Structure 1
Amino acid sequence: MKKISLISIFVLLFLYQCSNEKKNITNNNLNELSYVGGEGDKVNEELRLSKEKMWEEANRYKAAITDTTFLQTKGKMSEMAINPFTGNGQNQYYALNQVIYLKALERVKKHLFIKDSLLVCDLKSGVEIRISEDLFQYIMDLLKNWNLGIKEGKYKIVKTKNNSYDIEAIPQ
């Protein structure tokens, strides 16, 4: 009797679990099915497409830049100007601004020389190399930071293929 009672209890528990399973609701009407990936996936896809478009435009501009092109970022040159996102969302000009900034940096690097183991620029103004003053000042501040890193032993000066100077990080 004890054995039958135990078996009965297990059978009842099993049947209870089977009847208590979550019910899956299905819809066989394909016209009514909607995307279940979530709003985040849609936003990510929109951001990806937007980024792709920005880089296409930036690369078209890059291909059109000549030595006589005056370089000026959209908005004042700053860290925010070249970051993909700002506090207000996506920065629609970051790709273009990065292209402009890097081209301006190339122009400045052609005017660097070494003095007392530090990088020195012989330019006084951005106008000399056809870049905006705010962009020029941003790069001069960058140069100060590089020299600080050189003094602290974080960077070393290297000569580039086109006979200008750059820095490399020293592994710590």
Structure 2
Amino acid sequence: MRKIYLFTLLLLGLCGCTSNQETVDKSEISPAETRSIEVKSVRDYIESNEFISIIPDEYYSLRQKGRMSKEEVKAADYQMKAAAYRFYKHCTMDDKGFITCNVTSGAELKISEELFEFRLRDMKGWNDMIKKNISEGAKYKVIRIDDERYLNDLLNYK
């Protein structure tokens, strides 16, 4: 009887130890741990017209948590700049600085809908800032998005 009791205690102790082991959720494994990353330039993404599938909320969350390798961060940054280039290439700006987007979906730009919505929110934030400056009578200087220099800065981002 004593042997069975000791055996049961030993078995419970082993079960307790194994249940305390940390399990790894495969969704938490960084892609860098499972595959190599090809880092293309912004220009490469633009010229290839490759679909950019980044979801900004996920990208910023993973980046903030330090869950991305340097190569992944660089590749994602270049894709974000390429998406901005594609977006603003299809926008117009009036003389006061208000931006109007001339496309209706991310599919038209070959970017994810989440990324397209992110760019639209960015544009709305800019327009709201311009509106506020005008209503307060503040002087402001507009960075022209339709200026080739702005688009070239995005295109040649390093």
Q: TM-score when scaled to structure 1?
A: 0.50
1:64, 1:90 → 2: CA distance? 25
1:62, 1:157 → 2: CA distance? 21
Q: Report the CA distance shift for 1:128/1:162 in structure 2 as closer, same or farther (over 3 A).
A: farther
The more displaced of 98-107 and 146-155 is 146-155
Which of residues 75, 79, 86 is equivalent to 2:64? 86
Which segments of 5 or more consecutive residues in structure 1 lack a partner in the other structure? 1-49, 165-172
**Higher RCO (CA-CA < 8 Å; seq separation 6+):** 2
Larger Rg: 1
Deviation at 1:127, TM superposition (A): 0.4
Which segments of 5 or more consecutive residues in structure 2 lack a partner in the other structure? 1-31, 134-139, 152-158
Structure (1 or 2) with the greater helix fraction: 2
Matched position secondary structure for 2:142: strand
1:97, 1:163 → 2: CA distance? 20
C-alpha RMSD over aligned residues: 3.3
Deviation at 1:57, TM superposition (A): 4.3
What count of residue pairs does the alignment treat as equivalent?
A: 107
Which of residues 50, 56, 78 is equivalent to 1:69? 50
Q: TM-score when scaled to structure 2?
A: 0.53
Kindly provide the CA deviation profile for residues 62-93 of structure 1, in whole angstroms up to 9, marking residues without a partner as x: 464224211112xx213x62478424x34333
5 Å-filtered alignment, 1:16-165, equals: 57-58=38-39, 60=40, 62=42, 64-65=44-45, 66-73=47-54, 76-78=55-57, 81-82=59-60, 85-87=63-65, 89-92=66-69, 93-115=72-94, 117=96, 118-153=98-133, 156-158=142-144, 159-161=146-148
Structure (1 or 2) with the greater strand fraction: 1
The share of aligned pairs that are identical, in percent, is: 22
